A and B are shown apart, each in its own frame.
Chain A
Amino acid sequence: MKGSINARKGEKRRAAEPFEPRIIGFLCNWCSYAGADRAGLAQTPYPPNVSIVRVMCTGRIEPVFIMKAFQQGADGVIVLACHPGDCHYKEGNLRAAQRHALLARVMLQMGVERERCRFDYVSAGEGEKYAQLVTDMVESVRMLGPLKKVSAGGEI
């Protein structure tokens, strides 16, 4: 992908506004998305800062999606998969975990702090865990402040 991530829309925000992190959450349809629904059924409140992108399997998530999210103004990305052994498609979650580990290193080199790019497991029953993860994520990104810029190049 061409272009560096510093031409970010996020920077258009007025400085006076209190910082509200924007986070993209990639959730698989079977476990984590169902876990988020479960939090809803239990009416467990959590901060509204995460926009969910549903995919059938976290194995579908390309690194470019995550890069693009940062480039478009996200301050954090969270990928939530089924627990190991529970993947609806046998092992897509493990592929996602592998890819994530690699990408997290690349992101770090580009100056994106580790907390901004997280991977975790949430089952269909773990509404509480989902709400907690989202809350933690929002808080830690809030502490980091807005993602300013990503080091030169940006070519992935």
Chain B
Amino acid sequence: MKIGLYFCNCGSNIAELVDPEKVRLGLAQDGLAYFKTYPFLCSEEGKAFLEQDLRDERPDRVVIAACTPREHEATFMRVLEQAGMNPYLMQMVNLREQVAWVTKEPEQAVRKAVLAIRGALLRVALQQELEREELEVASSVLVLGGGPAGLKASLTLARAGRKVVLVEKGPAIGGLPVLYEELFPDLECGPCMLEPLMGELLHGEYAGNIELLTLSELAEVKGFFGNFSATIRRRPRYLDEATCIGCGECVEACPVAGKNPFDCGMGEKKAMAFAFPGALPNLPYLDPALCTRFTEGGECRLCSESCPMGADVVRYQDAETLVERQVGAIVVATGASLYDCTTFPQLGYGVLPQVKTAHELERMLASNGPFAGDPSGLPERVLFIHCVGSLDEGHRPYCSGICCQYAFKLNRLLRSRLPQARIHHLYREIAAAGKEASALYLSAREDPGTALSRYGSLAGLSVREEGGEARVFVAGGESLSADLVVLCPAVVPGEDAGALGALLEVSLDRFGFYEEMHGRIDASSSKMRGIYLAGACQGPADIQRAALQGVAAAGSVLCELVEGRKLRLEPLFASVDPELCSGCRVCLKVCPYRAVSFDSEKGVACVSSVLCHGCGTCVAACPAGASRAQHFTGEMILAEIEGALK
């Protein structure tokens, strides 16, 4: 076997301390075919020299003694390829960062270099030609969740010409902000802000690229990056969506009503109803939990009969369906929930009528809410309790980030509707960072009708009813009376986050939010290849952040899953020799990516080369020696050890 060595002097960086001539002499017994030096092997001239020299010498294996492989392994692998060699027949030795720059004595440096090169020589002899497998990919994308993050992700992808399947659990899109009439930081109207987006998604130039599935959830997903097959469960709307014009005649005609979940049960809605006035898509939905045909087996057909578009637009016979879609990537944008305030019995939530959450107050104030925007019944003395569950080791140790802002926004809304209102904020910390965030806080602080005071711990607060009003007791301090106590609960993971995470095999962080590839520099990818994250499902987020993450996730999809570009798989994955595998399944347990599956027919494990990241954990764990890590086989590592100790 002809093994050639290229010694990069790195100017004087390496050669000054590690004399190449002495290294060459030190390796005299090691069967090297040739030893060549070059001033800067990574320079354009260096690469051209290397390429030409490889063509002339035609070595079987190459060792490059230079800098760290973390910097230039890929560079030299490309040169090998250009010279017509398989790039995996090369081994780098790090003589710069790990020898020349850290060793004092030239003699010692030469000796250390010789040992390292010996290890590489023995190892490289065992290295094999590996091929990067290429796979066809589906370029369409599944987006889960129709809030700001999901909307922005879908639109960005659709504008780039991608087919998008947008799956929304509820009957309408827009997420939470579409319910809020004035948003922090600048009191912009939520629906006004989102409607152009939603309009574009439903009817715009690229609407044809987006398939919107409302009342739907992901039921199952198979496959991997580039080739997911998703099964989506669709609950029926009991309506021919294509024919319905959203005139609402059926809603008028419907004789039964029940609690409206969009108003937190405070208002009523019909069995056949819009999710809320102005909901998009502009289609009512029939709620089988309210409709007497379903609850009592009745024969009411009033909605169907009233429909001007025909008797068969309302379709009572519809049932749940499963649809399947092939996609290359998945964007999870399922949002978050609010902490359950009944966790704090002393605050009286759910028991005292005077205690509400901030979300409920939003609906109470909304013109499309249960009180139709009528301010006449508004409370005059309002007390906000901030950080309900946030910044609390016993509950949620993190700051939820949005509560201060919406609390001071609600302060402003109450004040504008009720100039005589008296408002008190009890807070633990004020968080209002960013170029626009402090305005509402500062205006609340300057407002003579608004008081702010700090409390120590939630356990020290209690709310009781006395004479029809709420009294809030603060440990060691005052007691405050209010007509309404508004709780600002912590932002927590969505209720289904765990189940969906398990389905997608996306890991959760210690709070139950989806875990990012890297919290700061790679926050739009999950740790599962091909599954991206956006919005509050990965942590508390305001609209700006959610929308940005939606675009970021779409950007990640666009650059990683490129139409027409095959998926190139690095061959550094594990594989199982079925002859040796004993079927103990240890590897299935240790693989952090669930890349190993079990073929129960043959009774052996097998590794998916797409899902495997090549860590080799399963290889080290296999008691039968059946599992092998390509390019990092036991033989290669043992050879390297042997060489380094020779």
Q: Is the CB of B98 within 8 A of A36?
A: yes
B617 touching A43, Cβ below 8 Å? no
CB-nearest residue of chain B relative to A61?
B620
* Chain B residues within 8 Å of A45, by CB: 102-104
Chain B nearest Cβ from A107, distance in angstroms? 16
Question: Taking A36-B98, A51-B119 as contacts, is the C-beta distance between A60 and B616 under 8 angstroms?
Answer: yes
Complex A-B: 25 CB contacts under 8 Å: A22-B645, A36-B98, A37-B94, A40-B68, A40-B96, A43-B101, A45-B104, A48-B109, A51-B115, A53-B641, A55-B632, A55-B637, A59-B620, A60-B615, A65-B634, A65-B637, A65-B638, A72-B645, A74-B645, A88-B615, A89-B592, A89-B613, A89-B615, A90-B527, A131-B102
> Do A60 and B620 form a contact, CB below 8 Å, given A34-B70, A53-B641, A90-B507?
yes
9 nearest interchain CB pairs? A40-B97, A60-B616, A59-B617, A51-B644, A89-B615, A90-B592, A57-B615, A40-B101, A37-B97
- Which of B69, B507, B593, B638 has the most chain A CB atoms inside 10 A of its CB? B638
Chain A residues with Cβ below 8 Å from B527 are 90
The answer to whether A114 has its CB under 8 Å from any CB of chain B is no
Distance (whole angstroms) from the CB of A96 to the closest CB of chain B: 8
Query: Across the interface, do A95 and B620 meet the contact criterion of CB distance under 8 Å?
Result: yes
In contact, A92 and B645 (Cβ under 8 angstroms):
no
Interface centre among A9, A48, A74 (most CB of B within 10 A): A48
Residue of A nearest to B622 (CB): A62
> Which residues of the partner chain A approach B621 to less than 8 Å between Cβ atoms?
95
A55 to chain B: which residues have CB within 8 Å? 616, 632, 637
The reply to whether the CB of A68 lies closer than 8 angstroms to some CB of chain B is yes
Q: Are A89 and B115 in contact (CB under 8 A)?
A: no
**Contacting residues, chain A, for B109 (C-beta < 8 A):** 48
With an 8 A cutoff between CB atoms, is B164 at the interface? no
Flag whether A110 is at the interface (Cβ < 8 A).
no
A29 vs B104: C-alpha distance when bound (angstroms): 25
Known: A56-B614, A60-B616, A72-B641. 8 other contacts (CB 8 A): A40-B96, A41-B97, A48-B108, A51-B644, A52-B94, A62-B620, A90-B527, A92-B616
With a CB–CB cut-off of 8 A, which chain A residues contact B615? 56-57, 59-60, 88-89, 92
Number of interface residues of B (CB under 8 A): 45
Pairwise interchain contact A68-B638, C-beta atoms closer than 8 A: yes
CA A46 – CA B108 in complex, angstroms?
11
Give the contacting residue for A57; candidates B69, B70, B507, B617; CB below 8 A: B617
Report A60-76 CB contacts with B as 1/0, cut-off 8 Å: 11101100110011100
Instruction: Tell which of A24, A44, A92 touches B644, judged by Cβ atoms closer than 8 Å.
Output: A24
Are A56 and B616 in contact, with the CB atoms below 8 A? yes
Q: Does A54 contact B (CB under 8 A)?
A: yes
Give chain B residues whose Cβ lies under 8 Å from the Cβ of A44. Answer: 102
- Residues of B contacting A62 with CB < 8 Å? 619-620, 634
B589-646 residues with Cβ-Cβ distance < 8 A to A are 590, 592-593, 613-617, 619-621, 629, 632, 634, 637-638, 640-642, 644-646
Q: A9-B645, A24-B645, A54-B69 are in contact. Are A37 and B619 (CB under 8 A)?
A: no
**Which residues of B (575-592) have their CB < 8 Å from a CB of A?**
590, 592
How far, in whole Å, are A19 and B111 apart by their CA atoms in the complex?
A: 15
CA distance A54 to B641 in the complex (A): 10
Does A99 sit at the interface, judged by CB under 8 A? yes
Which of chain B's residues have a CB closer than 8 A to the CB of A53?
119, 637, 640-641, 644
Chain A contacts of B634 at CB under 8 A? Answer: 62, 64-65
Give complex CA distance A65, B68 in Å. 23
Across the interface, A48 reaches (CB within 8 A) one of B97, B111, B620, B637, namely: B111
Is B116 on the interface with A (CB-CB < 8 A)? yes
Chain A, interface size category, equals 35 or more
Least CB distance, B595 to chain A, in whole angstroms? 11
User: Nearest residue in A to B631 (C-beta to C-beta)?
Assistant: A56
A39, A73, A92: the one contacting B102 at CB < 8 Å is A39
* Separation of A51 and B118 alpha carbons in the complex (Å): 11
Cβ contact within 8 Å between A43 and B645:
no
What is the distance, in angstroms, from A39's C-beta to the closest C-beta of chain B? 6
Instruction: Assess the B590–A95 pair: CB atoms within 8 A.
Output: yes
Q: Is A126 an interface residue (CB 8 A)?
A: no
* Bound form: Cα–Cα A73–B637 in Å: 16
A binding-site residues for B, Cβ under 8 Å = 9, 22, 24, 29, 33-34, 36-37, 39-41, 43-46, 48, 51-57, 59-62, 64-65, 68-69, 72-74, 88-92, 95, 99, 131
Instruction: Tell me the complex Cα distance, A68–B94, Å.
Output: 23
Is B409 positioned at the interface, with any CB of A under 8 Å from its CB? no
Residue-wise, chain B 93-124 has the 8 Å CB interface mask toward A (1 for contact) of 01011110111110011011001100100000
> With the chains together, A54 CA to B645 CA distance in Å?
15
Q: Which of B96, B644, B646 has the most CB of A within 10 A?
A: B644
Q: Are A51 and B112 in contact (CB-based, < 8 A)?
A: yes
**Given A24-B641, A65-B641, A68-B638, A52 and B102 contact (CB-CB distance below 8 Å):** no
- Which of chain B's residues have a CB closer than 8 A to the CB of A48? 99, 102-103, 105, 108-109, 111-112
Q: Which residues from B are CB-within-8-Å of A64?
A: 634, 638
Question: Is B413 part of the binding interface, using a Cβ–Cβ cutoff of 8 Å?
Answer: no
Residues of A close to B116: CB separation below 8 A: 51-52
A37 touches B70 (CB 8 A): yes
A46→B615 CA distance, assembly (Å): 29
CA distance A69 to B640 in the complex (A): 10
Contact residues in A for B614 (Cβ distance below 8 Å): 56
A99 touches B620 (CB 8 A): yes
Inter-chain CA distance A48–B644, complex, in Å, is: 12
Report the separation of the CA atoms of residues A9 and B643 in the bound assembly, to the nearest whole angstrom.
12
Q: How far is the CA of A144 from the CA of B617 in the complex (A)?
A: 32
Q: CB-nearest residue of chain A relative to B572?
A: A56
How many angstroms from the CA of A91 to the CA of B615 in the assembled complex?
Answer: 10
Question: Which B residues are in CB contact (< 8 Å) with A60?
Answer: 615-617, 619-620, 629, 632
CB within 8 Å for A46 and B632 given contacts A24-B641, A60-B620 = no
User: Could you tell me the distance between the alpha carbons of A69 and B634 in the complex, rounded to whole angstroms?
Assistant: 13
Identify which of residues 498-540 in chain B touch chain A, using a CB-to-CB cut-off of 8 Å: 507, 527
Q: How far is the CA of A131 from the CA of B613 in the complex (A)?
A: 30
Once the chains are docked, how many angstroms separate the CA of A18 from the CA of B74?
41
Residues 300-353 (chain B) with a chain A CB within 8 angstroms: none
Across-interface contacts of B613 in A (CB, < 8 A): 89
Q: How far is the CB of A119 from chain B (nearest CB, A)?
A: 14
Q: Which one of B70, B108, B109 has the highest number of Cβ atoms from chain A below 10 Å of its Cβ?
A: B70
Q: Among B103, B615, B642, find the residue whose CB has the most chain A CB atoms closer than 10 A.
A: B615
**Which residue of chain A has its CB nearest to the CB of B113?**
A48
Task: Find chain A residues with CB under 8 A from B103 CB.
Answer: 45, 48
Of chain B, the residue at the smallest CB distance from A75 is B645
> How far, in angstroms, from A95 to B69 measured CA to CA in the complex?
25
When distances are taken between beta carbons in the complex, the residues of chain A under 8 Å from B592 are 89-92
Residues from chain B with a CB closer than 8 A to the CB of A46 are: 102
List A contacts of B644 (CB < 8 A).
Answer: 24, 51, 53
Closest chain B residue to A57, Cβ basis? B615
What's the Cα separation between A132 and B274 when bound, in Å? 68
Cβ contacts under 8 Å, B108 to chain A = 48
